[in-house]
Structure 1
């Protein structure tokens, strides 16, 4: 196992440096060397209360990682109660029956570990990474807050103020970020997909303690979660510990699945947004996109790499270096289990208008539709996919116990089968030039585009009243 990891480290360290990607001699033969499954599962079981647990032993280093995915995100919220999923990411560190406020951090960090959490449109996750002889500590902490989170008026008010400050500092007072939220609200027609994960102050302030308790009871139940533990563990002993800490937590009625259906867009959408913090004009141009694991998902992932992965990408070479009409250009794939988004963001160079810059962008998109991508360029994009999965510098790297734990928990929660990680890699490697053309033609239509122009605007000056003569 260590030899395999070392080989991967050496190979992929040369792949992506300074925004460029080198070509592997033969990507197909290299892919054939992958040991399947990519993440060996030692044990996969479900407790009587519905909690699914996946264990993967790896004794190469004395480290273990625990990841829990709860099947709840912004899409599960109700109108008038937005922001609850993100709010609970904060509440989960406010203490439980046997753990004081913020002590979760102190316990893990004092044991030499790290931890974090994140909220998404379609899930919320929590994780700890520790020396393997301390992993029982994470089990105790996670089970205590799943069982007995302290949902009190004091904790609610404390975290309400924290979330408000987070929104002000990370969204409201950042250039271009408020426009990105407006873009998603305009792009999606279904409120479940369109509203921002952080929610609104009005909705949170209008909620009651009973609302908060009901949300916790509904979505933070063992039968609405998947836990994965990866690393230097004994799977048999770990199963005993999991049962010790989690088996007595009661299950709850299974929550209803949200309706995330989106109508096809048939007409371009446009909005202009003033921005007091932006120094240069910019624009977002986006399209509705396939959900994770839908047939066209893989080709669109390759297209995103072709367009925007590093300084050798098509849009950087055309717009930043060639036409020199953009200061920054980026394309991201907001991948979700339901309707997703392919989003481009461009900062306009002085001397050009957004309309002129969009002509360059549309020109490159048209090339994807009309001219087959070369084998060499396609192979480079696939190498970048492989880099994301294997390079030690990548967040989701399979070389990291935490990366493996999060992938196992996500795939088991989302799709019911962690072995689909292997199937997804195979699907990426099978994408052909014809697939790229077909999917580009389907996605990049002018009638399906949503455009948000960002117009720099200085802060409002106080009005002066005329003085009497």
Structure 2
């Protein structure tokens, strides 16, 4: 078996050695816009994307959800793009586009046939320089966000999972509130509030522009200067969010969900921001515990003991603090207390014992394989380049992040689990059907 494991390891290392380095060029415009170019002429497509360093945490009390709201609002139109025509222009020119918002950043992108690079750059410069922000657009997108909240969270089974964790793990940091915000805050916001938010965060010096795919570098640089070079620099964003006190005693909470019949048990820990080395170690621990049917939690609680319909562990990475979550849904009469006890037993093993050399090698192989398969499209590469620069401060992580995982040891896995995943550091949430509240 050792011989086979050794051969498998050599196979993955060989694959990683053959994996193509993602080459890129980066520079700054005078207005502070960071530009990253990744040229790949293997297919006639090009992605233009802009990531803004603004997310759900960037708000004041009583004005939550603005970053997610702007994700929608900035598709309304510009001085040169008629209201409601954004998606029509993209599709009519053979492209596709989307956007998404987290607690830490907002990301927009378009992918076009490569002969439409200029169109993609023009549209993103329009979004930055000439957005039309008026009461009609605010009212329209307010209703869009409300409908999204109803569909994805209020009326979706287990749609409150993340909210239940956030509101119990955080007391003072903005991560305590949902990224989508509270609808009463959006209803209370004035047009002046919205305009002020745009002026504060949507500026070239708070953004990174990525062009990835089939283009000529000199042509792209010239277009970028033409479309983005004259956009004025904005105020520097200063963040000084309150720090959370460590959790030193287990917190118990209950959350009710009208959309479920089967309860769930959630165990959550506050962990370090994703830039910290310990966060990478926690990612490995979650893979060890719950990635696939041969993982420790699944094999034990689902396959062997028939206690759980589903079980999992994952580290939800965020810039300031992350959230490590272990959860399970019971089978039959299995109590939530039993689920918590069984999950804790596996977490305790990671805290108190070195994982086996064989399991450790499997983890390393999994990370190597994921690295080989990552960034398989220009869209994915554009996203990774933007994220690594904006949130990690190291664009080249796209090539070197695997080295962090390679350097992690079994001893370090045990030390990090002991440091962050103690019983006295956790929140235990009984996630129950609404009928249980009625009783």
- Return the match for 1:281 from 255, 260, 263: 263
Structure 2: how far apart are the matches of 1:118 and 1:97?
Answer: 23
Match in the other structure for 2:417: 440
Match in the other structure for 1:9: none
Structure 1: how far apart are the matches of 2:281 and 2:180?
Answer: 30
The answer to whether 1:218 aligns with 2:200 is: yes
Contact 2:19 2:372 in 1 (8 A): no
Match in the other structure for 1:114: 96
Contact 2:16 2:371 in 1 (8 A): no
List per-residue Cα deviations over 1:143-166 (Å, max 9, x = no partner). 011111111100000010111111
Higher mean C-alpha displacement, 347-356 vs 258-267: 258-267
Contact 2:173 2:243 in 1 (8 A): no
Contact 1:305 1:381 in 2 (8 A): yes
Structure 1: how far apart are the matches of 2:338 and 2:437?
Answer: 29
Match in the other structure for 2:17: 33
Match in the other structure for 2:349: 367
- Return the match for 2:53 from 71, 94, 104: 71
Contact 2:275 2:392 in 1 (8 A): no
Cα distance change, pair 64–23 in 1 and its aligned pair in 2 (3 A): farther
Cα distance change, pair 109–386 in 1 and its aligned pair in 2 (3 A): farther
1:34 Cα deviation (Å)? 5.2
What RMSD over aligned residues (CA atoms) do the two structures have, in Å?
Answer: 2.1
Higher mean C-alpha displacement, 340-349 vs 156-165: 340-349
- Return the match for 1:264 from 238, 242, 246: 246
Match in the other structure for 2:33: 51
Structure 1: gaps of 5 or more residues? 1-21, 392-396, 462-469
Match in the other structure for 1:353: 335
Match in the other structure for 2:3: none
Give the secondary-structure state (helix, strand or coil) at the position aligned to 1:26. helix
Match in the other structure for 1:146: 128
Match in the other structure for 1:239: 221
Structure 1: how far apart are the matches of 2:14 and 2:39?
Answer: 25
**Alignment TM-score, normalising by the size of structure 1:** 0.88
- Return the match for 1:177 from 147, 159, 180: 159
The answer to whether 1:253 aligns with 2:235 is: yes
Cα distance change, pair 194–24 in 1 and its aligned pair in 2 (3 A): farther
Count of matched residue pairs:
434
1:376 Cα deviation (Å)? 2.7
Structure 2: how far apart are the matches of 1:263 and 1:110?
Answer: 52
